[in-house]
């Protein structure tokens, strides 16, 4: 598996809006939340649920992270196969040739970020952390998207990002 492979199949049922963590300090002794800007989950015209900016985000700023369970690649592949045969719902990102993060049970709203061929975020893996940064100024209400590169869909999924330069397949 190449890098960054969100294994994004249809999505679990989620509330219309998940309040982004980190909008306020937790105040209960937890470590700093990696969510830097408020992100909401809502229905997407691209696919299923999407992540949307709930406030303006300046270019180049870190927006937040996807956290989850660290698993090896064999486990990641097994879970992806299992999900395809059952619920079809899983969120994983490969962070190296050997390891992936399974964010299926995470509450981080950015795990709903859809792929787009001309995205407004870039996904970076830094020391095992999966973080998203703004590629340009993003307005409140815009859907947040990233280019996911090769996915386990292996070209079987039609891209509906709507960009004139859409490559068409995931
Ligand atoms: Zn596209």
| Distance of CA 53 from the midpoint of ligand 1 (Å) | 20
| Distance of CA 1 from the midpoint of ligand 1 (Å) | 21
Please name the fold of domain 39-146. Answer: Beta-clip-like (2.170.270)
Name residues whose C-beta falls within 8 Å of residue 88's C-beta, 6 or more positions apart in sequence.
9, 10
pLDDT per position as a tens digit, 5-33: 454 433 333 333 334 444 444 455 556 78
69-72: strand order across its sheet: 69-72, 99-102, 92-94
Please report which helix (H) or strand (E) contains residue 63, including its range. strand 62-66
| Distance of CA 9 from the midpoint of ligand 1 (Å) | 16
| Distance of CA 12 from the midpoint of ligand 1 (Å) | 22
Instruction: Determine the 3-state secondary structure of 145 from DSSP.
Output: strand
Name residues whose C-beta falls within 8 Å of residue 15's C-beta, 6 or more positions apart in sequence.
41
- Domain ranges in the chain are 39-146
Contact (CB, 8 A) for 40 and 14: no
| Distance of CA 30 from the midpoint of ligand 1 (Å) | 38
pLDDT per position as a tens digit, 77-102: 899 888 878 766 678 888 888 899 99
Global pTM? 0.75
């Amino acid at each position: 598996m190449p890098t960054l492979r969100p294994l994004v199949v249809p999505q679990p049922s989620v509330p219309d809006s998940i309040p982004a963590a980190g909008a306020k300090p937790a105040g209960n002794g937890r470590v700093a939340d990696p969510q830097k800007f408020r992100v909401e989950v809502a229905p997407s015209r691209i696919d299923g649920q999407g992540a949307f900016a709930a406030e303006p985000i300046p270019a180049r700023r870190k927006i937040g992270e996807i956290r989850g369970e660290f698993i090896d690649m064999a486990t990641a592949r097994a879970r992806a196969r299992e999900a395809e045969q059952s619920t079809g719902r899983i969120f994983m990102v490969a962070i190296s040739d050997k390891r992936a993060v399974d964010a299926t049970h995470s509450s981080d709203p950015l795990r709903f970020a859809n792929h787009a061929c001309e995205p407004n975020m870039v996904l970076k893996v830094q020391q095992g952390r999966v973080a998203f940064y703004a590629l340009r100024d993003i307005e409140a209400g815009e859907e947040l998207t990233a280019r996911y590169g090769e996915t386990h869909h292996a070209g079987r999924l039609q891209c509906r990002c709507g960009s004139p330069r859409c490559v068409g397949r995931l």
